[in-house]
Amino acid sequence: MLETYWNVEWIGSFLFSVIRISTPLIFAALGACFTKKAGLLNMALESMMLVGALCGVLASAASQSLFLGFLGAVAGAVAIAGIICYCAFFLKTDLYLTSISINLAASGGTVFILYLVCGQKSTSAGILKSLTIPKLTIPLIEKIPVLGAAVSGHNVLTYVAFFCVFLVYFLLKKTRIGLRIKSVGENPHAAESVGISVRRIQTISFLISGVFCGCAGAFMSMGYVSWFARDMLAGRGFISMSATNISNASPFLSMLSAMMFGLSQAIANALQITSAPAELVSALPYIMTILLVMLFALIRIGRRRRKMAKLAGAIQEE
């Protein structure tokens, strides 16, 4: 039994699937970093990705151009971000409520559009001739036994996702807009007092987050699979949001925690072919997410409590 798993080829392909499954999660988690740094939770990652995925398929099928398809995905996701900002910051609706209702609208609205275009409500597979983003083999690394199988041959967007981790780090740390986003998140009143428009910065953070979700959506429908299916995200937006929350919106840690969730999904997929009950295995990634989020919360609370105890001790000594 074990022998079928513990060989070099299997480990290579398992790691490959971990990276592949993690790609959309990394994109969305990076997007969530911006809004989290601006002091807001982006709960609409799910709908931004879903709309991005649909727009990617539609745009690439209509134009037969990969670039336009990708652009369409990003534009769709950014449009959703714009709608949310308009409602939350200008019409003054509750941001949570806005995100949740936009999520609901997206899950129904995409099915509606899918039906208008394809004449059926489940998938666009075999009906729309949408394009896929090509795969990339890395010349030298490809030859290394386990590493080659795991790292080479991914979708171009997968490599872009890992590159974006550095990009986000740079954007948040070194650029003017990044610093402004952080200042708004840490103390909106202080930022306001030096003439930064909080509402504008938060809108920008949402729009950037939309760009990343568009990439994630494009990967889902033009790389992970080559079609759009209803509710194809299945909670990935919320998983990514938890990844960002756990890691306190640091891009590198967000990537790592996104990959941790990718790992649990990959394990579930690998167990699928064993005799383990399929339904329980499918529930695994979601249960893992809940457990991980709670575990990290416990650690955070413990750390805070120790810090407080230390402070109390220091005060007493004085």
> Which strand (E) or helix (H) includes residue 136?
strand 135-136
Among residues 273, 276, 283, 308, the one that binds other proteins under rule CB under 8 A = 283
CA pseudo-torsion sign 70, 72, 77, 79: positive
Choices 67-75, 218-226, 294-302, 306-314 (CB under 8 A): range interacting with other proteins: 294-302
Per DSSP, the three-state class of 284 is helix
Q: Degrees (nearest 5) of the Cα angle 70, 34, 72?
A: 15
> What phi and psi, each to the nearest 5 degrees, are found at residue 225?
-130, 175
Site mask for other proteins (CB under 8 A), range 74-93, x = bound: -------------x--xxxx
Choices 22-30, 68-76, 237-245, 250-258 (CB under 8 A): range interacting with other proteins: 237-245
235 contributes a contact to other proteins by CB under 8 A: yes
> What phi and psi, each to the nearest 5 degrees, are found at residue 114?
-55, -40
> What phi and psi, each to the nearest 5 degrees, are found at residue 155?
-65, 145
Per DSSP, the three-state class of 229 is strand
279 contributes a contact to other proteins by CB under 8 A: yes
Give the span between the Cα atoms of 308 and 315, in whole angstroms.
10
Give the span between the Cα atoms of 56 and 70, in whole angstroms.
6
308 contributes a contact to other proteins by CB under 8 A: no
276 contributes a contact to other proteins by CB under 8 A: no
Among residues 17, 209, 245, 257, the one that binds other proteins under rule CB under 8 A = 245
22 contributes a contact to other proteins by CB under 8 A: no
Nearer to other proteins by Cβ, of 42 and 132: the residue is 42
Give the span between the Cα atoms of 137 and 241, in whole angstroms.
30
Choices 112-120, 175-183, 191-199, 308-316 (CB under 8 A): range interacting with other proteins: 112-120
271 contributes a contact to other proteins by CB under 8 A: no
Give the span between the Cα atoms of 259 and 252, in whole angstroms.
11
Per CB under 8 A, residues contacting other proteins are 41, 43, 87, 90-94, 96-98, 100-102, 104-105, 107-109, 111-112, 115-116, 121, 234-235, 238-239, 241-242, 245, 277, 279-280, 282-283, 286-287, 289-290, 293-294, 297-298, 300-301
